[in-house]
C-alpha cells in the first residue's frame, strides 16, 4: 500500500525476520531497524507457553485500495494464526495504512478538538520511516466454527502454507480473507475476524506447500501437481496440472502471460505450464517445457517480474528472460551463487532449511540497485535461512531479494556472534519493442483530406468548371 508523498508506481520494501524467541524484527531495504515486536504482542498465552512463539510461516497482503491496512499473518504452532495490521509513516504522514478522517473547522481549517489521533511510531530510521504494528486477532485454524453455525475440528495439525487476499463482497466493496493449508491435507478459508467460511480436503490428504491467487481462483500446490479452486465458493475446478515424481513446492504466474504458470519442484526443476490451453471445447493444463539448467538437490523458490522469471535454490539464483516465451521460449541470462551455499559448504553442509518472508509496500524509491545488510543476534536467531524471500507489492515488477550470508561463525570459537541477511533490490530492465502506431493517426488524416480535396479539384478541372462541382458558364 502507499500514499502520502509517494509517487505513483513507487514502493518501499520492508523485511520482517522472526527469531527463535518469537520476536518479529522489521527492517527497511537499507538494513536500518524499523521496529522489534516481542512474542507476547502477537501470540496469546505465550507467557505460559513459550512454544507458542515459534513462527512457521508469514503471509502479507497490501490491500485492494490505498486506504486499506496492510495485514501480516503469522503462523505459530498447532495451526494458530495471528493477524497484525501495519501502519507505515514517513516523517509525519501515513504512507501505508488506514488514515483517520479528521474533521476540520470550516472557518479556520484547523482540526476540531477531541478527535482520536493515530498512534505515531516509537522510533524512526534516518530516512524518516516509522512503523506501527497492532495485534488484531488470533485464529485457531484447526478448530473453527463455520459462518452458518456448523464446522468440525481437524486433527492437531501445523500450517503448511497460507495466503491473505482481497476479494469483492457484493456492494460492500472488497474484504480481506485468509486461506490456510494444513499438514493434514485440509485447506480452509476465513474472514479476518476468524470466522471459518469454507473447507476442502486435498486428494490423498497430502499437504499443500504453496498457494497463489489469480483472478477468482486459488492455485494449490500439492505433492502430485497443482489444483485450482474457487476463492469464493471453495470448490475444485476442472483444470489440473499434473506434476512429476517430486512434490510441488512453489509456483508463480508469468506477469505478461497470466495463463502461464511456472511450477517449482522439490528436486529443483522448474516447469512451465499453460493453464488455459484448449482441448476441443474444454480448458486444460498442458506442460510446455522444463526451464534450462534448473534442477539440483534442493527445492526451488520462484518469482516473476515483467519479462523475467527468477528461480532460486540453495545453490544460487537463476534469472530467465520470458518476454517472448510463446515465440522463443524462456532464456537463461544470468546465474549467481548464494553466499549461504558457500558458507554452508565451509561449515560441512549443515545448511538451514527455511527462509523468512518479507513484504513489499508502495512508497518512494529512485531507480537503481540498493544493497543493504542487517544483522540479528545469533543468541536469539533460529537456524539461518537457506533460500530467498521474494516479495512484490500490488502489480509492481520490482523484487526484494533476501539472501542469508551467515557463515555460522556465531557457533564457533572466535565467531562474530551475528547472522547476516543481505538485501538486494532486483530492478530488471523491461524495454519491449513498441508497436504503437497511434502517432501516425494525424498524418494519415491530413493525407486523406489532401487526397479528397485534390481529387475534387482535378475532377472540377476536367469538367471544364472553375471550381468544385464543374459549374456551367
The pLDDT of residue 272 is: 95
DSSP string of 264-317?
A: EETTS-EEEEEEEEEETTEEEEEEEEEPTT---SS--EEEEETTEEEEE-SSEE
Give the dihedral sign, CA 25/377/375/31: positive
pLDDT grade, residue 387 (50/70/90)?
very low
Share of the chain above pLDDT 90, in %: 18
For residues 164-189, give the mean pLDDT: 84
Q: Quick check: 374 and 347 in contact, CB under 8 A?
A: no
pLDDT grade, residue 178 (50/70/90)?
very high
In the predicted model, is pLDDT for residue 332 greater than 60? yes
In the predicted model, is pLDDT for residue 48 greater than 60? no
The pLDDT of residue 407 is: 46
Q: Quick check: 235 and 215 in contact, CB under 8 A?
A: no
The pLDDT of residue 295 is: 66
Q: If you average pLDDT over every residue of the chain, what do you get?
A: 74
The pLDDT of residue 83 is: 93
Share of the chain above pLDDT 70, in %: 67
Least confident span in 47-61, 151-165, 335-349, 370-384: 370-384
Least confident span in 144-148, 230-234, 299-303: 144-148
In the predicted model, is pLDDT for residue 373 greater than 90? no
Nearest to 196 by CA among 230, 233, 163, 150: 150
Nearest to 60 by CA among 393, 310, 362: 393
The pLDDT of residue 218 is: 93
Q: Which helix (H) or strand (E) holds 11?
A: none
Q: Which residue has the higher pLDDT, 115 or 395?
A: 115
Residue with grid cell 513484504, as numbered in its chain: 359
3-class secondary structure, 247: coil
Q: Which residue has the higher pLDDT, 281 or 471?
A: 281
For residues 261-274, give the mean pLDDT: 91
Q: What is the C-alpha to C-alpha distance for residues 96 and 204, in angstroms, rounded to an integer?
A: 42
In the predicted model, is pLDDT for residue 12 greater than 80? no
Cα-based distances in Å from 289 to 5, 112, 148, 249, 261 = 45, 63, 45, 18, 11
Q: Which residue has the higher pLDDT, 116 or 224?
A: 224
Return the percent helix, strand and coil in the chain, to nearest 5: 10, 40, 45
In the predicted model, is pLDDT for residue 49 greater than 80? no
Cα-based distances in Å from 383 to 57, 325, 374, 401, 470 = 15, 38, 16, 19, 94
The pLDDT of residue 394 is: 39
The pLDDT of residue 453 is: 76
Least confident span in 1-5, 49-53, 299-303, 458-462: 1-5
3-class secondary structure, 37: strand
In the predicted model, is pLDDT for residue 162 greater than 90? yes
Q: What is the C-alpha to C-alpha distance for residues 241 and 276, in angstroms, rounded to an integer?
A: 11
CB neighbour list of residue 425: distance below 8 Å, 6 or more residues apart: 13, 29, 365, 368, 369, 370, 371, 398, 399, 400, 401
Least confident span in 61-65, 71-75, 95-99, 273-277: 61-65
The pLDDT of residue 174 is: 74
DSSP string of 334-386?
A: EEEE-HHHHHHHHTTS---------EEE-----SS--EEEEEEETTT--SPP-
In the predicted model, is pLDDT for residue 73 greater than 70? yes
The pLDDT of residue 342 is: 59
In the predicted model, is pLDDT for residue 323 greater than 70? yes
For residues 379-384, give the mean pLDDT: 34
The pLDDT of residue 382 is: 32
Q: What is the pLDDT of residues 224-267, one digit of tens each?
A: 899 999 988 888 988 999 988 888 989 999 988 889 999 998 88
The pLDDT of residue 359 is: 39
Q: Which residue has the higher pLDDT, 149 or 271?
A: 271
For residues 169-197, give the mean pLDDT: 85
Cα-based distances in Å from 246 to 205, 225, 295, 307, 314 = 16, 9, 11, 27, 17
Q: What is the C-alpha to C-alpha distance for residues 461 and 54, in angstroms, rounded to an integer?
A: 93
The pLDDT of residue 347 is: 53
Q: What is the C-alpha to C-alpha distance for residues 267 and 467, in angstroms, rounded to an integer?
A: 82
Amino acid at each position: 500500500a502507499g500514499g502520502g508523498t509517494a509517487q505513483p508506481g513507487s514502493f518501499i520494501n520492508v523485511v520482517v525476520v522472526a527469531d527463535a524467541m518469537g520476536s518479529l524484527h522489521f527492517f527497511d531495504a537499507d538494513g536500518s531497524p524499523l521496529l522489534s515486536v516481542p512474542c507476547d504482542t502477537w501470540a496469546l498465552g505465550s507467557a505460559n507457553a513459550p512454544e507458542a512463539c515459534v513462527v512457521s510461516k508469514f503471509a502479507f497482503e497490501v490491500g485492494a485500495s490505498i486506504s486499506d491496512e496492510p495485514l501480516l499473518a503469522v503462523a505459530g504452532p498447532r495451526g494458530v494464526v495471528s493477524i497484525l495490521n501495519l501502519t507505515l509513516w514517513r516523517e509525519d504522514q501515513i504512507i501505508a495504512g488506514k488514515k483517520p478522517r479528521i474533521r476540520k473547522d470550516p472557518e479556520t481549517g484547523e482540526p476540531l478538538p477531541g478527535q482520536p489521533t493515530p498512534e505515531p511510531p516509537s522510533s524512526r530510521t534516518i530516512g524518516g520511516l516509522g512503523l506501527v504494528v497492532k495485534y488484531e486477532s488470533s485464529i485457531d485454524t484447526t478448530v473453527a466454527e463455520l459462518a452458518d453455525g456448523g464446522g468440525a475440528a481437524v486433527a492437531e495439525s501445523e500450517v503448511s502454507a497460507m495466503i491473505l487476499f482481497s476479494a469483492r463482497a457484493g456492494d460492500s466493496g472488497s474484504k480481506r480473507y485468509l486461506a490456510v493449508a494444513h499438514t493434514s491435507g485440509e485447506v480452509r478459508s476465513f474472514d479476518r475476524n476468524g470466522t471459518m467460511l469454507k473447507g476442502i480436503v486435498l486428494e490423498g490428504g497430502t499437504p499443500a506447500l504453496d498457494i497463489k491467487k489469480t483472478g477468482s481462483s486459488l492455485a494449490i500446490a500439492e505433492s502430485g501437481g497443482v489444483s485450482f479452486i474457487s476463492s469464493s465458493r471453495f470448490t475444485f475446478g476442472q483444470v489440473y496440472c499434473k506434476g512429476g515424481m517430486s512434490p510441488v513446492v512453489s509456483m508463480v504466474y508469468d506477469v505478461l502471460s497470466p495463463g502461464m504458470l511456472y511450477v517449482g519442484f522439490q528436486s529443483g526443476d522448474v516447469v512451465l505450464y499453460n493453464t488455459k490451453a484448449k482441448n476441443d471445447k474444454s480448458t486444460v493444463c498442458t506442460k510446455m517445457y522444463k526451464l534450462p539448467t534448473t534442477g539440483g538437490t534442493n527445492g526451488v523458490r520462484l518469482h516473476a517480474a515483467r519479462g523475467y522469471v527468477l528461480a532460486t535454490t540453495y545453490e544460487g539464483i537463476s534469472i530467465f528472460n520470458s518476454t517472448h516465451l510463446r515465440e522463443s521460449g524462456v532464456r537463461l541470462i544470468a546465474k549467481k551463487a548464494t553466499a549461504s551455499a558457500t558458507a554452508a559448504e565451509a561449515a560441512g553442509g549443515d545448511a538451514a532449511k527455511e527462509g523468512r518472508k518479507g513484504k513489499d509496500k508502495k512508497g518512494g524509491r529512485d531507480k537503481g540497485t540498493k544493497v543493504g545488510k542487517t544483522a540479528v543476534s545469533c543468541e536469539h536467531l533460529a537456524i539461518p535461512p537457506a533460500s530467498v524471500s521474494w516479495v512484490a507489492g500490488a502489480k509492481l515488477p520490482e523484487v526484494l531479494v533476501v539472501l542469508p550470508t551467515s557463515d555460522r561463525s556465531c557457533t564457533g570459537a572466535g565467531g562474530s556472534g551475528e547472522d547476516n541477511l543481505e538485501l538486494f533490490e532486483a530492478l530488471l530492465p523491461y524495454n519491449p519493442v513498441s508497436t504503437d502506431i497511434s502517432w501516425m493517426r494525424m498524418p494519415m488524416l491530413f493525407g486523406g483530406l489532401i487526397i479528397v480535396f485534390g481529387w475534387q479539384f482535378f475532377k472540377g478541372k476536367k469538367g471544364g468548371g472553375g471550381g468544385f462541382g464543374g459549374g456551367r458558364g
